Structure 1
Amino acid sequence: MVPRQHPPQPNQRAHSTNSTKRSTRSYSSSFEADDERSSSADHESMGPGLGYRDEPSQYEGEDTRLTSRKELMGWYAMGFSAEVFAICGLGSFIPITLEQLARENGVLKDDPTMPCGSSSHIPGGLPKSANDQGACVIHLLGMQINTASFAMYTFSLSVLFQAVLVVSISCAADHGNYRKRLLLFFAFAGATATMLFLAVVPQVYLLGALLAMVSNTCFGATFVLLNSFLPLLVRHHPKAQYTSPEATPELGFTALREDPPEGLLNPPEEENTIEPTLDHLSSSSDSTPPNPSKNLTSIELQLSTQISSTGIGVGYSAGLFLQCVCIVVVYMMRSSTLSLRLALFLVGAWWFVFTFPAALWLRPRPGPPLLSTDSHDPKSSRSWFAYFTYAWISLWRTAKLARRLKDIVLFLAAWFLLSDAIATVSGTAVLYAKTTLNMQPAALGLINVIATTAGVIGAFSWAAVSRALGLRPHQTIMACICLFEIIPLYGLLAYIPCVKNWGVIGLQQPWEMYPLGFVYGLVLGGLSSYCRSLYGELIPPGSEAAFYALYAITDKGSSIFGPAIVGAIVDHTGSIRPAFWFLAVLVGLPAPILYFVDVDRGREEGIKLAEVIEGRRAEESGTTTPQEARALLASDDEDEGYRERRHRA
């Protein structure tokens, strides 16, 4: 969705598409900071002169210098370093390492005197061996836990900690000079925790679970903070500062024209741009057919698309390369537990080493100070407590606003289930392949390579299919869900007696994992872009920061439940296959909810709510009387009541 506003005047600097709207900062401290500058010594700018904008600073400590090539390279380097953890660590080696460490401390469920050993040493990966061996369990805190459930519970806890941390640091990323410090702290901490897997022997397998939770939590915080730099890179880019858009609603094209820095109009009162908004704009531009009557291409859209796409490509390239290296290492070491720990050490070392270019080249870009902090004692505990409480209060205020928007509530409910399904299917499939099909770790790594490659293909192919068939975003999402449903339903085919006796279909052979991995990647490539695109259409104009914060916490918080429920099913039944029933329901539930989402209605309600928010802000700033603000609110309530009466009629 491109925000609905008039383009800048020809002789005016091109500002962010959101910068002409009043900020929603009083309602939300977003996960992605949106107005910070720096005082770095790097003068290598892509713009004219010394790389400084000739606009006055809007607050003390603001850095108005233009984005430099070196700063962009630092941003790319951070993605290049951290993305490998998602692809190689979370995607394959951490789940199977945790399961294998637990297995080497476990006993057979049917015979507690018989140790399980390592499932990866079974030659040939024959599925019958796993069935003959029986379920493997460990005893922890007086409970009997399946070794596959152990990995799922660990992931659920790490996601819980990650969600709490992301909300808590969001305000510190938006305000003050903490963004880069926090980014480097969590990056180095996560990389170190990943490297320490090399020291985790089976006797201290619980240390492996702790390291997995620490590394995953730090990874989530790292990417939230990294994403917060994107709107700043775009806003201060020379093309955004010294060029003007020349486009009409009838033309899906923006021409760039150089304008001199002299004679520029005053900057807007407050800028508010966040990476998810830009990311959404880029996905909308690339993935959906243009709607000339509602969208207007902007310079910032083109820049964010280019920078974000390059960053994604760099990160995925690094992940695929290191994944292939790790597969070779694991294969040459005969899939031993040491080989898995060594692969994770390589992942952590890659993350650690390539964080240094980001540390050297990224500018801090400090934001405005938080008004509630003590400026005379910034290191006091009161200061950090103010950041913490402001972040959670802001999230609560945004949630209360969202309740007034029926279609956003419906979408977030569907997204909560869908995001949980995406994370749970991935982890369950990896553990099923290892424990039931007895696939070697190298073969499991190959599944991840196929899924990642298919995801890149899906990001482009779904856009082409959507344009060719004239599908709207919610229709494309429904198509992705239908294709996604094939994965758990295919696993349930083995419950049919004739199929089970045949021994081929229904995930009874290891090779069946590879085509399903391709399907998973293909679906993920479409869902990741179109869900954000649809949600963006429903957001009240000017409130992108606040509502994308809600989107992010819904995404991160949902993955707490699915893995835990799968773990409980496995503990109760002793097998992973029964969990496919739950996955089939989890994947299918979002479809009927999305069916009731009306984009046009949601857009109208969003615009009306934006007027109410502006009225409140105007009242706070003294530009509107309380009576006028209440009139806006009453008008909104009357319109809502009229719509309800008309709907009942």
Structure 2
Amino acid sequence: MTAPAGVADLAPLGRAREQRAWYFYDWANSAFSTTIAGVLFAPYLIAVAESAAVDDRVSVLGVSVAPGALPSFIITTSTLLSAVLLPLLGAVADRTSRKKDLLAGFAWAGAASAALLFFVTGGNWQLGAVAFIVANLCFGAAAVFNDALLCLVSDEDERDQVSSRGWAYGYAGGGLLLALNFVLVTFHESVGISEALAVRICMLSAAVWWAAFTFIPFRGLRNHPPRDIEQVPGGVVSQSFGQLGRTLKEMRHYPVALTFLVAYLFFNDGIQTVIASASTFGVEELGFATGTVLATYLLVQFVAVFGALSFGRAAGRYGAKPVILAGLVIWMLIVTVALVLPDGELVPFLLLGAAIGLVLGGTQALARSYFSLLIPRGKEAEYFSFYHAMERGTSWFGTLVFGLVYQFTGSYRPAIFALIAFFVIGGALLLRVDTARGIREAGNAQPRVT
């Protein structure tokens, strides 16, 4: 809406205030994704489970499981539950004005569950398993509301910049806490505590960080009324199921959004598998010490801050789609270089890590903002719930390919190079996305640059 003549349009100022608050949720939740999910949870839970194992096995619902496989089963269970639950939560969110309250509620519930990891000691791996599953479910749910709010705190011309800044805040916050925790774990003897206690303190610090910084978006954002809601009979829950059913039927009317979603599932699975497998590749294939790999992980985090901001500026000049495609070409080069990277030589490994950081934040940030342009008004949370649910529901495919190639070749080099297929397929599908048509079908305003 245009302000009447002689009256200043204060809407941009209001959006800017909300945007500054919104950035801090990425800053807050990145503590969980880096310190806990990315680095410390899996090895610590394995160590706890090993102390409780009998004949190198623990019982999970009556099934005998090796301790080393336990984190994979837990993460898989959590991601599959997310794939089922998130679309319903998205439908609920689109029918309520209380999106920021739901964001904060799930964030605080997730942080409380993550804090329980501090009490996982001795052989009590079961508490760790349940706490992580609940925390990861809440992490995904809060992400749905956070991404839906992106569409409400920014207009179409602002969205690439706002999303990129959010990712930059996330990498900066996650990297800062991880650096502090890296110092504590490395020098735990100097402060008179065991390594296990240092790890537990680090996981607790991530939970506290997540909860504390969530207060900034909770106080700074406002609840926006729902837009263009379809009338569905029944209460809130039954209405949400009804809307979800209608949306599933109507998604075929948005073929551009669906094409992008499939493209994203491929290239994002490649990205996530590279990140998940990088430490294994560095330690097992290239022969680096775990501390060296962790330091490289920190490098990736901080370079990703500048990568996200740079990609956002480039999208403002060239459009999000061409910049994402350029990023995918760089990802193809990264996995190709990994095929011939020399063993034990630090400088090439650090340069590869810097290249990963450059495109990591940028491609993910622009994928989020680009998809937001293809979403029908009033269904932001619901479509972003599909975005996250399908991402989580298919996140096993890249790791499966990586594992199978290693199984047949006995080397991590061809295994990581095989991921080039995900970037090629994702890029080819993205080339088929007609941006202008998708924005028009969704009923959104056309940005100045597409």
TM-score (norm 1): 0.56
Q: What are the residue-to-residue correspondences of 1:289-304 with 2, within 5 Å?
A: none
SS of the residue 2:29 aligns to: helix
Query: Which has the larger displacement, 323-332 or 409-418?
Result: 409-418
Contact 2:144 2:388 in 1 (8 A): no
* Distance in 2, Cα, partners of 1:75 & 1:610: 24
Alignment of 1:605-624 (within 5 A): 607=440
Whole-angstrom distance in 2 between the partners of 1:350 and 1:357: 12
Aligned-partner residue type, residue 452 of structure 1: Q
2:447 is aligned to: none
Structure 2 CA distance for partners of 1:222 and 1:67, relative to 1, 3 Å: same
Q: 1:314 to 1:561 in 2, by over 3 A?
A: closer
Q: Give the CA deviation at 1:394.
A: 2.8
- Cα deviation for residue 520 of structure 1 reads 1.8
Are the equivalent residues in 2 in contact too, given 1:412–1:551 (CA < 8 A)? no
Distance 1:530 1:78 in 2: 17
CA distance in 2, matches of 1:398, 1:342: 44
SS at match of 1:10: coil
> Residue 596 of structure 1 is aligned with which of 403, 427, 432?
432
**Alignment correspondent of 1:281:** 157
8 Å CA contact 1:459, 1:526 repeated in 2: yes
Matched position secondary structure for 1:530 = helix
Counterpart residue identity of residue 274, structure 1: L
* 1:44-83 equivalence runs, <5 A: 78-83=25-30
Residue 36 of structure 2: aligned partner = 89
How far did residue 194 of structure 1 move? 1.7
Find the aligned partners of 1:559 and 1:507 in 2 and give their Cα distance.
Answer: 33
Which residue pairs with 1:573 in the alignment? 407
Aligned residues: 435
Cα pair 1:420 1:559 within 8 Å, conserved: no
- Separation in 2, partners of 1:309, 1:608: 25
Map 1:306-455 onto structure 2 (within 5 A).
315-333=170-188, 336-355=195-214, 386-433=235-282, 442-455=291-304
Tell me how far apart the structure 2 counterparts of residues 427 and 87 of structure 1 sit (CA, whole Å).
Answer: 11
Deviation for aligned residue 1:592: 1.8
Q: 1:421 to 1:146 in 2, by over 3 A?
A: farther
Q: Deviations over 1:586-611 (max 9, x none)?
A: 233212222333335x25xx536759
Percent of pairs with identical residues? 23
Distance 1:144 1:12 in 2: 68
Residues 1:67 and 1:436: Cα distance change in structure 2 (over 3 Å): closer
Structure (1 or 2) with the larger CA radius of gyration: 1
User: In structure 1, what is the equivalent of residue 448 of structure 2?
Assistant: none
- 1:159 equivalent among 79, 91, 97: 79
- Specify the alignment match of 1:483 in structure 2: 330
Distance in 2 separating the partners of 1:97 and 1:279: 43
The letter for the 2-side match of 1:157 is T
Rounded Cα–Cα distance in structure 2 between residues aligned with 1:488 and 1:169: 36
Deviation at 1:415, TM superposition (A): 1.1
Q: Are the counterparts in 1 of residues 338 and 417 from structure 2 also a CA contact under 8 Å?
A: no
Q: Secondary structure at the match of 1:597?
A: coil
What is the distance in 1 between the residues matched to 2:90 and 2:305? 29
Q: What displacement does 1:418 show?
A: 1.7
CA apart distance, 1:487 = 3.5
Shift of 1:331: 0.3
Question: Is the CA contact (8 Å cut-off) linking 1:157 and 1:560 kept in structure 2?
Answer: no
Which stretches in structure 2 are left out of the alignment for 5+ residues?
445-450
Q: Kindly indicate which of the two structures has a greater share of residues assigned to helix.
A: 2
Give, in angstroms, the shift of residue 344 of structure 1.
0.8
Please, which of 90, 99, 102 is the counterpart of residue 182 of structure 1? Answer: 102
Q: Distance in 2 between matches of 1:485 and 1:315?
A: 25
1-side partners of 2:339 and 2:257: how far apart? 33
Separation of aligned partners in 1, 2:285 and 2:87: 38
Distance of 1:354 and 1:547 partners within structure 2: 24
SS state at 2:158 partner? helix
Q: Deviations over 1:478-517 (max 9, x none)?
A: 2211211234334444xxxxxxxxxxx3666677553332
Residue 394 (structure 2) pairs with residue 561 (structure 1): yes
> Take 1:98 and 1:217, find their aligned partners in 2: how far apart are those partners?
18
Distance 1:549 1:321, change over 3 A: same
TM-score for both structures, normalised by structure 2: 0.76
Contact 1:483 1:523 survives alignment (8 Å): yes
Q: Structure 1 residues 572-581 or 197-206, which shifts more?
A: 572-581
Distance 1:202 1:512 in 2: 40
| 1:531 to partner: Cα distance | 2.8
Gaps of 5+ in 1: 1-5, 18-45, 47-65, 108-112, 116-136, 231-272, 287-304, 375-385, 494-504, 612-649
